[in-house]
């Protein structure tokens, strides 16, 4: 691909014609606006439906009708080991070993379960360090976990805000804060990508800094899994969790995932136990003493939600075919084109649009967060009326996310045209 961009339909179509992932767009169902597909730039909130989802779900419904309870072992895709079908795919997506990942529960449920094991305040080491505005559910989880241990969340939860006049955190400042907290710090837990600003954090550097002071380090990867090229195992992250419905395109409220580094698998960690985390060779002996699986599966509580997982499987099959390397390469190019087009619109309209997401591709994924000074929600509503599906976050941020698996360069160009019309109208 060329090193420069052009703000023209011909250029965008040329890029799409040369895109090795272009066929994947046809694997998804797009909502319609005035008889045409919308410009769907909110895959960072809810991914589109894969066309294979309905057939995958119908297979499990048919096997339920055909086999009843025997579907646990006789279904085409036996339900008993259903969660095991995801190990290889999820490991490739988050940069882990297959035994370090498991599909289970919902995101915040998994965060709580992991904090039971990995947030163990003791003595002066009680504090949790996070960014100032993680997704609100994380804030609620941190505060309630601190309170559960008898601590005052106002003192135990330490949040970091950017420097005055800046929108994102500097890695050096995060490291410095970790070192300042030192032996007061029990847990460092950031998002892989901040939901509001789109900033991708330097997970390797943060993990190393946290470990140097004796803290545990975990990440909420809701906006990173399926978006960034991750390396959880090699970067020595202690734990992580993510959802399945954003970049992983597995449907609203779909099954989530968790990562636990293999060095913790045989440790005598406290945990909330359930029978699906018990040694599968002995699970149906129904013994009263919990014997954890020697893998991330030990954090499971209940058997697989097969219908949700059926759609998840159809979605992850697309990631297996595309590959994270190719997706990330396109994402950097596509998001770069979006930044270029927005800049061209600013030049043409002289309207103050401020992209608060880092300009450095290594510090962002497939999302740009925009503040339209003086325009606010009205601009977002005008774009919606033109068939642009983006995302608004109070008080003044519009998030747009060109997802490489199904968005095109022409989508980006058309977004720019709609944006310019709205600003001039």
Non-local CB neighbours of 389 within 8 Å, separated by 6+ positions: 31, 38, 39, 40, 41, 42
Q: Given this model, what pLDDT does residue 111 score?
A: 98
Kindly state the average pLDDT of the residues 229-248.
Answer: 98
Tell whether the model's pLDDT for residue 18 goes beyond 80: yes
pLDDT digits (tens, 9 = 90+) for 395-420: 889 999 999 999 999 999 999 999 99
Taken in order of first residue, the domains within the chain and their CATH numbers are 9-30+323-424 (3.90.1150.10), 57-321 (3.40.640.10)
pLDDT in tens, 318-354: 999 999 999 999 999 999 999 999 999 999 998 889 9
* For residue 133, pLDDT beyond 90: no
Lookup result for tokens 């330097």 = 202
What percent of the chain lies above the pLDDT cut of 90?
A: 92
Distance, in Å, from the CA atom of 80 to the CA atom of 75, rounded to the nearest integer, reads: 10
pLDDT at 2 over 50: no
pLDDT score at 350: 84
Nearby residues of 58 by Cβ (< 8 Å), 6 or more positions away: none
Taking the C-alpha atoms of residue 183 and residue 218, their distance in angstroms, rounded to an integer, is 17
Q: If we measure between CA atoms, which residue out of 189, 186, 164 comes closest to residue 174?
A: 189
Beta strands in 291-416 (DSSP E): 353-355, 368-372, 388-389, 391-393, 397-400
Query: What percent of the chain has pLDDT above 70?
Result: 99
Quick: pLDDT tens for 275-296: 999 999 999 899 999 999 999 9
Structure confidence at residue 351 (pLDDT):
84
> Is residue 128 within 8 Å of residue 98, measured between CB atoms?
no
Which residues are registered as beta bridge partners of 40? 389
Q: Whole-model pTM?
A: 0.96
**Cis link prior to 395 (omega < 30° from 0)?**
yes
Least confident of 176-185, 302-311, 344-353, 400-409: 344-353
- What's the pLDDT tens digit per position in 246-263? 999 999 999 999 999 999
Q: What are residue 159's phi and psi, to 5 degrees?
A: -110, 145
pLDDT band at 1 (very low <50, low <70, confident <90, very high): very low
Q: What is the pLDDT of residues 82-92, one digit of tens each?
A: 999 999 999 99
Q: Which of 332, 356, 131, 318 is nearest to 228 (CA)?
A: 332
pLDDT at 394: 87
Confidence label for 374 from pLDDT (cuts 50, 70 and 90): confident
For residues 309-320, give the mean pLDDT. 98
């Amino acid at each position: 691909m060329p090193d420069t961009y052009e703000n023209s339909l011909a250029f965008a179509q040329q890029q799409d014609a040369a895109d090795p992932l272009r066929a994947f767009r046809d694997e998804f169902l797009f909502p319609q606006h005035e008889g045409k597909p919308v410009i769907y730039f909110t895959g960072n909130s809810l991914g589109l439906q894969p066309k294979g989802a309905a057939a995958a779900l119908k297979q499990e419904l048919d096997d339920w009708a055909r086999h009843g309870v025997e579907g646990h072992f006789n279904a085409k895709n036996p339900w008993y080991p259903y969660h095991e079908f995801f190990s290889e795919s999820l490991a490739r997506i988050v940069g882990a070993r297959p035994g370090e990942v498991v599909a289970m529960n919902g995101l915040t449920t998994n965060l709580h379960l992991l904090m039971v094991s990995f947030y163990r305040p003791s003595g002066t080491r009680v504090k949790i360090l996070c960014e100032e505005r993680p997704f609100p559910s994380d804030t609620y989880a941190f505060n309630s976990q601190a309170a559960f241990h008898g601590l005052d969340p106002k003192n135990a939860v330490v949040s970091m805000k950017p420097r005055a006049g800046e929108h994102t955190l500097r890695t050096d400042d995060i490291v410095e804060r970790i070192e300042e907290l030192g032996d007061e710090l029990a847990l460092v837990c950031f998002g892989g990508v901040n939901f509001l600003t789109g900033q991708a954090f330097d997970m390797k550097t943060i993990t190393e800094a946290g470990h140097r002071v004796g803290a545990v380090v975990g990440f909420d990867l809701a906006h990173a899994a399926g978006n960034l090229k991750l390396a959880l195992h090699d970067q020595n992250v202690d734990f992580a969790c993510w959802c399945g419905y954003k970049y992983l395109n597995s449907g609203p409220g779909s099954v989530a995932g968790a990562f636990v580094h293999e060095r913790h698998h045989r440790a005598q960690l406290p945990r909330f136990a359930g029978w699906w985390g018990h040694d599968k060779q002995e699970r149906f002996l129904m013994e009263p003493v919990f014997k954890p699986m020697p893998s991330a599966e030990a954090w499971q509580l209940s058997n697989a939600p097969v219908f949700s997982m059926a759609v998840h499987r159809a979605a992850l099959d697309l990631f297996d075919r595309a590959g994270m390397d190719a997706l990330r390469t396109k994402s950097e190019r596509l998001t770069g084109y979006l930044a270029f087009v927005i800049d061209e619109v600013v030049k043409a309209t002289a309207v103050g649009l401020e992209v608060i997401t880092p300009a450095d591709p290594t510090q962002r994924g497939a999302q740009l967060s925009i503040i339209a000074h003086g325009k606010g929600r009205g601009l977002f509503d005008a774009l919606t009326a033109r068939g642009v599906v983006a995302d608004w976050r109070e008080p003044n941020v519009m998030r747009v996310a060109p997802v490489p698996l199904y968005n095109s360069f022409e989508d980006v160009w058309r977004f720019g045209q709609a944006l310019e019309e709205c600003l001039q109208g």
